[in-house]
């Protein structure tokens, strides 16, 4: 028996999007748009003042994917595909192949639930993650499917992660 690993994606049919795009383009006024910084110095200033809404948010530093068709052999929860070096997740001990089943005592069936719980916290907050760790799953993490006949002999661990801002978004 195998299980597949699905990344989550959303799409909008082009026939639905096209009229909306045309409407936005017709009403576009470049004078209404704030210019973006073009120099490195401006970007550094935005980092220090926190004016860029994409920066300055605490996060775990993991890439997660959904598991499907596990037939109850593996617990429900998002699978950690990768862990960023130097991230709060790495410092807390989260490893690729871990399945995040709870954040602060609340079940997390999807990656969106993990993200929502992290976004509700500030830098310096600690989160307690309950993860399921199975060496057979971790050894297959680069595969598109996981052979479940080798899985199911893992353990549950509680990991404390101290959130901080990680602005390097190379992953």
Segment 6-30, tens digit of pLDDT:
655 556 667 777 777 777 777 766 6
User: What is the model's pTM?
Assistant: 0.67
CA neighbours closer than 13 Å in the CB half-sphere of residue 83: 21
Q: What is the pLDDT of residue 67?
A: 83
Residue ranges, the chain, pLDDT below 70:
1-13, 28-56, 167-171
Q: What is the pLDDT of residue 74?
A: 92
Rounded Cα–Cα distance for residues 141 and 56 (Å): 30
Q: What is the pLDDT of residue 35?
A: 45
Q: What is the pLDDT of residue 101?
A: 95
Rounded Cα–Cα distance for residues 132 and 117 (Å): 18
């Amino acid at each position: 028996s195998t299980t597949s690993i699905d990344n989550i994606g959303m799409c909008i049919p082009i026939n639905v999007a096209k009229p909306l795009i045309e409407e936005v383009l017709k009403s576009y006024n470049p004078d209404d748009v704030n210019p973006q910084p073009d120099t490195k110095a401006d970007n550094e200033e935005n980092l220090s003042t926190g004016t860029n809404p994409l920066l300055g948010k605490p996060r775990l530093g993991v890439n997660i994917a959904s598991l499907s068709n596990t037939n109850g052999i593996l617990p429900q929860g998002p699978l950690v595909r990768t862990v960023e070096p130097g991230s709060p997740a790495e410092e807390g001990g989260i490893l690729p192949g871990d399945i995040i089943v709870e954040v602060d005592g609340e079940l997390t069936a999807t990656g969106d639930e993990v993200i929502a719980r992290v976004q509700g916290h500030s830098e310096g907050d600690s989160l307690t993650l309950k993860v399921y760790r199975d060496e057979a799953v971790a050894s297959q993490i680069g595969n598109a499917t996981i052979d479940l006949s080798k899985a199911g002999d893992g353990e549950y661990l509680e990991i404390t992660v101290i959130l901080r801002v990680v602005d390097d978004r190379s992953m």
